[in-house]
């Protein structure tokens, strides 16, 4: 009798575990994409400049696989089943590099570390303060950036960028698309700053 009861309990436990596994939704993975439309303007120089992008820093809060959403009570929601397909910092660096290469057609743009390609003429250092979503409200990007002359290690230009766009669709695919849009806008701002350097 005790053996039958034990077998029944084991089967019940196994069935519960199996049903829990079957009811878990699949994890969705996302990537940021570079500009797809032709650049509205490009800067061409007589001699190709070597532009280095990086290093780039992001908040520790965002150094995770899961997509992070800020809630109104200053807490955060971590989306266990909606994750970045690669480290967010690497993806941001790749997209910014690709975007600037498309916008700065007269320059050669390399991502940090660029030692394999030799020295660069200018380096863009980027400190991202925010790159996230406020729940069902907006997507936000805040960053400090500086353009350095690598030949003499002097500051050429610097700025603080703050971009916020309303979020009409709170779904994760729409959120990633909106984050992509503000990253493209930031790329254009950096391109304009580079265009002013002679």
What local confidence, expressed as pLDDT, does residue 113 receive? 85
Which SS3 state, helix, strand or coil, does residue 71 take?
A: coil
* 173 C-beta neighbours (distance < 10 Å), count: 11
The pTM score is 0.82
What local confidence, expressed as pLDDT, does residue 13 receive? 62
**Domain extents in the chain:** 28-195
- Say if residues 146 and 83 touch (Cβ distance below 8 Å): no
Q: Please give the average pLDDT of every successive group of 10 residues along the chain, which has 198 residues.
A: 58 56 82 76 64 94 94 92 96 96 92 81 96 91 96 94 94 95 96 90
DSSP annotation of 113: P
Fold of 28-195: Rossmann fold (3.40.50)
* 76 C-beta neighbours (distance < 10 Å), count: 13
Q: At what angle are helices 88-103 and 172-195 packed, to 10 degrees?
A: 50
- Look at the block and give the residue holding tokens 């660029």: 114
Q: Residue 99: phi, psi to the nearest 5?
A: -60, -45
Rounded distance between C-alpha atoms, residue 47 and residue 167, angstroms: 42
Six-digit token pair at 33? 């994409």
- On the 0-12 / 13-18 / 19+ scale of CB atoms within 10 A, 154 is exposed
What local confidence, expressed as pLDDT, does residue 16 receive? 57
What local confidence, expressed as pLDDT, does residue 48 receive? 85
Instruction: Give the bridge partners for 154, in sequence order.
Output: 149
Q: Residue 43: phi, psi to the nearest 5?
A: -110, 125
Q: Residue 3: phi, psi to the nearest 5?
A: -65, -40
Six-digit token pair at 150? 């690598």
- Helical H runs in 75-156? 88-103
What local confidence, expressed as pLDDT, does residue 25 receive? 85
What local confidence, expressed as pLDDT, does residue 36 receive? 76
């Amino acid at each position: 009798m005790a053996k039958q009861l034990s077998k029944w309990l084991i089967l019940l436990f196994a069935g519960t575990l199996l049903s829990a596994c079957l009811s878990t939704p699949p994890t969705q993975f996302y990537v940021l994409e570079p500009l797809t439309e032709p650049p509205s303007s490009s800067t061409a120089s007589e001699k190709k400049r070597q532009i280095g992008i990086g290093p780039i820093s992001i908040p520790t809060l965002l150094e995770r696989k899961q997509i992070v959403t800020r809630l109104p009570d200053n807490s955060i929601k971590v989306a266990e089943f909606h994750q970045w397909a690669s480290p967010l910092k690497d993806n941001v660096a790749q997209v910014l590099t690709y975007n600037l290469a498309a916008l700065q057609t007269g320059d050669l743009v390399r991502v940090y570390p660029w030692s394999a390609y030799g020295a660069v003429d200018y380096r863009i250092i980027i400190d991202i303060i925010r790159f996230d979503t406020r729940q069902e409200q907006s997507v936000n990007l805040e960053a400090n950036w500086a353009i350095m002359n690598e030949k003499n290690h002097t500051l050429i230009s610097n700025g603080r960028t703050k971009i916020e766009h309303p979020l009409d669709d709170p779904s994760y695919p729409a959120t990633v698309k909106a984050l992509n849009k503000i990253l493209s806008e930031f790329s254009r701002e950096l391109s304009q700053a580079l265009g002013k350097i002679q």
